[in-house]
Chain A
Amino acid sequence: MMWIAWKMLIGNRVKYLGIVFGVVFAALLIAQQASIFCGLMSLTISQIRDTAGPDIWVMDRNVQYVDDIKPLADTELFRVKSVPGVEWAVRFYKGLGRARIEEGTYQQMILLGLDDATLVGAPEGVFMGSIADLRKPDAVIMDDAGYKRTWPGEPYRLGRTFEMNDRRAVLVGLTKASRTFQSFPICYTRYSQAVLFAPPERKVLSFVLADPAPGADPREVCRRIEARTGLQALTRDQFVWKTIRYYLEKTGIPVNFGITVLLGFLVGTAIAGQTFYLFTVENIRQFGALKAMGTSNLTILWMVLAQAMQVGVVGYGVGVGLAALFGQAVRGGLRLSFFMPWQVLAITAAAVVLIVLLASLLSIRKVLVVDPAIVFRS
């Protein structure tokens, strides 16, 4: 009987495509907007992900997300180092600096200061120059997107100089780096150099990056650090989610995307539901004939649900596929963040299931109450 349901469904091409269109529209909009939202969220945490090495980030108690810098006293580094279970700990500077370019223009930059001795947190995608060159005087490594933004249309060239806080900076390397939420160029330099490039402040230490001793539970070490120092210590994942939660709870981003997703859901449900209902009404005599010939209500129910699910599967596949194609298309060109993790696919699938169930509700009611004697009426 499911085969008959399927044949009935695809037999009416126009209605079938209409229902599928509604689901495709909803799936595309939900998957695409959710992926852009995830892309944006991934931008907010890119610097945590890109800072290779440490498992533990230590910061002021009131820091809410990675760009919320509340400087610490330099002595906090030693307090963290003294906590049992901490294998090593280093200083890390993160701030904004204003660079004066050779041509006299200014460019805001994200300044990252790495521990002078170990260079922990150095970028892993250096493709011109080397990380070791950071030990040279006034040396900085810039991300390639930042280079293009600072010197648009110009070929990569090391040795270029610019000024930060009236200090000379020399470009010694270029690296691939994840885009940031603020989209400013990223400049990696030594900690001691960074505090010179940065505007003078009484306290300059942004974070202490630490690693647990082998075999030690990072969360337990974080708890110990917090107990001993009164600072906030988070594992890398905890800091990632704390940052994401901040943007979810404290900004209008999720609301804006949520409205679009909701609209996609509602419009998709309306289109699919209306067309599916019309399809059912159009076939009501056929359903009546099937009931007259001895098809049970339960079988009829399964037939309608099978039709709805078939539409859902096709609509979901096409919609998510189109969203993925969109993501592929904007990957290089538009500066649009797009990240489609499996959770987006799962949420979209759940939404599509809900859409087809809602869309089929009216139809189910219609076919269940139809009197099989309808077939005797002309």
Chain B
Amino acid sequence: MTAFEPAPTAAPLTDAQPGGRDLAVRVRGVTKEFGSGDSVTRALRGVDLDVPYGELLMLVGPSGCGKTTLVSIVAGTLEPTAGDVAVLGFDLVAMSNGRKVRFRRDHVGFVFQAYNLLPALTAAENAAVPLLIAGWRRAEAVAAASDVLDTLGLGDKLTSLPSELSGGQQQRVAIARALVHEPRLLVCDEPTSALDAENGRITMELIQRIAVQPDRAVIVVTHDSRVYSFADRIASMEDGRIDSIAAGPRHVESVSPARPSESL
């Protein structure tokens, strides 16, 4: 962790920041273009976004509006064309590729729409992958991953292959994999889109119950309006921009009186 420099561009928090808490994610004026010349596609057109620690933010919007591009940039898997991105105090724009790899390894957890579990590994082994990437011994990594799976209710499926698990169970393994190394930023891409309503609800409950912590931020990209109720805030995107950010039902429950929609 000492290998990373704090982002010099991270602006100090102001009262305008949601809840007045420290920011885990600070995005300013980010644009992203694909292609060049006449065939250039502008996926992001000057996005500003703040996500404080302890918050579950949902990014919503129609297909092609730039949600996945934005979350890829925040997660450090994609370079912005312009703008500033500070995540967990690190300036991702100034960061070298090698450091970005280590940043993702140490600080970011991923939950993917297609789970992306390794089909040849058991549930426990799949969940242990981030620890193996970090250099843990296999036995210790699998033991730690087994504990997390047990917490997620998959204690009896530790040795099952992904092909032997239901979609909901696979997504729970993916959540265990995302949390096993205790990242400070959890990025979930359409975590419920491949699940039925019940499994989608269970998945979001698990993310909310286990992943949302005071020292961690969670960003969920979703189309699934059924799970909006789990959000602290909901950022709506349209045509490469954030249209509005509304307080989610969870926020409404915890902060009284309810805050109106705010625009950035």
A→B interface (CB under 8 Å): 1, 3-4, 7-8, 10-12, 285-286, 288-297, 299, 371-373, 375-378
Contact = CB atoms under 8 A, between A and B. Distances in A.
A11 B110 contact: no
Given A285-B114, A296-B101, A4 B129 contact: yes
A217 B190 CA distance: 83
A294 B102 contact: yes
Contacts of B134: 294
A373 B118 contact: no
Max chain A Cβ within 10 angstroms of own Cβ: one of B68, B77, B134: B77
A375 B112 contact: yes
Interface of B: 68, 71-72, 75, 77-78, 98, 101-106, 108, 110, 112-114, 116, 118-121, 125, 129-130, 132-134, 138, 189-190, 193, 221
B102 A376 contact: no
B72 A373 contact: yes
8 contacts: A3-B132, A11-B121, A288-B116, A289-B110, A291-B101, A295-B101, A376-B189, A377-B68
Contacts of B110: 289, 292-293, 375
A298 to B, nearest CB: 9
B120 A12 contact: yes
Contact of A3 (B75, B138, B190): B138
A285 B116 contact: yes
A12 B112 CA distance: 22
B71 A376 contact: yes
A7 B121 contact: yes
A297 B97 CA distance: 10
A327 B149 CA distance: 54
A7 B118 contact: yes
Max chain B Cβ within 10 angstroms of own Cβ: one of A3, A7, A373: A373
A373 B78 contact: yes
Contacts of B193: 378
A3 B141 CA distance: 13
B116 A378 contact: no
Contacts of A11: 118-121
B68 A292 contact: no
A153 to B, nearest CB: 60
B138 A8 contact: no
Contact of A293 (B71, B104, B119, B221): B104
A1 B120 contact: no
B116 A294 contact: no
Contact of A378 (B72, B113, B119): B113
Contact of B77 (A7, A12, A296, A371): A371
Nearest to A296: B101
Given A373-B72, A375-B116, A1 B133 contact: yes
Contacts of B221: 376
A3 B135 CA distance: 12
A12 B121 CA distance: 11
Contacts of B72: 373, 376
A4 B78 contact: no
A373 B77 contact: yes
B136 to A, nearest CB: 11
Contact of B118 (A4, A371, A375): A4
Contacts of B121: 4, 7, 11
Nearest to B105: A294
Contacts of B105: 293-295
Given A286-B116, A372-B104, A375-B189, 15 more contacts: A1-B132, A3-B138, A4-B121, A4-B132, A10-B120, A285-B114, A291-B77, A293-B105, A294-B102, A294-B106, A299-B133, A375-B77, A376-B112, A376-B189, A376-B221
A80 B78 CA distance: 84
A292 B104 contact: yes
Contacts of B68: 373, 376-377
B189 A294 contact: no
A3 B136 CA distance: 12
